């Protein structure tokens, strides 16, 4: 488990950058169609979770649904943790081509043409409630309990 100190540090790192920054649309060279376009793996729909719990409570666990829910939960945590680690090491991942960009002030332009601002990246990460540092410890635990989706672990 993460120590309290470690948790506090993980939390701090994703706090929004509150320093004054130019409005993004006004950044020289920015293209609104290519600026800060992210694709995060979505959170599990509550209706699906309810369906899963209900099937379990009725003693007829829906294994296909369990698999589906497990995989999306796993992938979301994986994306959150990977990008959290990148952010912590001063990098960003382009959500279109997967290239890594070094954190810079102002506009960062990827070789594929998409553009990012560090603030936009953090704000989007937070707005999508991506799991970050506090999810770092779920992977060993999932593996220990044999709960990590096998199809993914084999890759
Ligand atoms: Zn790119």
Say how many Å lie between the CA of residue 104 and the centre of ligand 1: 15
Identify whether 122 is part of a domain: yes
Say how many Å lie between the CA of residue 59 and the centre of ligand 1: 47
pLDDT of residue 133: 73
Identify whether 96 is part of a domain: yes
Identify whether 30 is part of a domain: no
Identify whether 107 is part of a domain: yes
Identify whether 8 is part of a domain: no
From 87, 65, 78, 71, select the one nearest 11 (Cα to Cα): 87
Identify whether 12 is part of a domain: no
Q: What is the mean pLDDT of residues 47-74?
A: 91
pLDDT of residue 138: 76
Q: Which residue has the tokens 């594929």?
A: 112
Q: From CA 23, how far away is CA 33, in angstroms rounded?
A: 15
Say how many Å lie between the CA of residue 82 and the centre of ligand 1: 17
Asked if 41 contacts 76 with a C-beta cutoff of 8 angstroms, the reply is yes
Q: What is the pLDDT of residues 75-102, one digit of tens each?
A: 999 999 999 999 999 999 999 999 999 9
pLDDT of residue 154: 46
Identify whether 39 is part of a domain: no
Asked if 134 contacts 2 with a C-beta cutoff of 8 angstroms, the reply is yes
- Asked if pLDDT for residue 32 goes beyond 70, the answer is yes
**In which domain, by residue range, is 67 found?**
44-153
Count of CB atoms situated within 10 Å of the CB of 55? 15
Identify whether 93 is part of a domain: yes
Q: What is the mean pLDDT of residues 5-29?
A: 62
pLDDT of residue 155: 40
- The domain total for the chain is 1
């Amino acid at each position: 488990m993460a120590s309290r100190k470690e948790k506090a540090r993980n939390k701090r790192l994703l706090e929004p950058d509150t320093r004054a920054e130019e409005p993004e649309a006004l950044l020289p060279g920015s293209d609104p169609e290519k600026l800060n376009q992210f694709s995060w793996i979505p959170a599990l729909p509550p209706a699906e979770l309810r369906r899963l719990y209900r099937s379990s409570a009725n003693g007829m666990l829906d294994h296909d649904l369990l698999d589906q829910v497990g995989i999306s939960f796993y992938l979301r945590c994986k994306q959150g943790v990977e990008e959290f680690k990148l952010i912590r090491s001063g990098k960003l991942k382009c959500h279109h081509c997967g290239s890594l960009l070094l954190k810079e002030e102002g506009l960062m332009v990827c070789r594929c043409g998409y553009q990012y601002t560090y603030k936009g990246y953090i704000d989007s990460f937070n707005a999508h409630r991506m799991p970050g540092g506090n999810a770092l410890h779920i992977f060993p635990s999932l593996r220990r309990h044999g709960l990590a989706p096998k199809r993914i672990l084999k890759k």
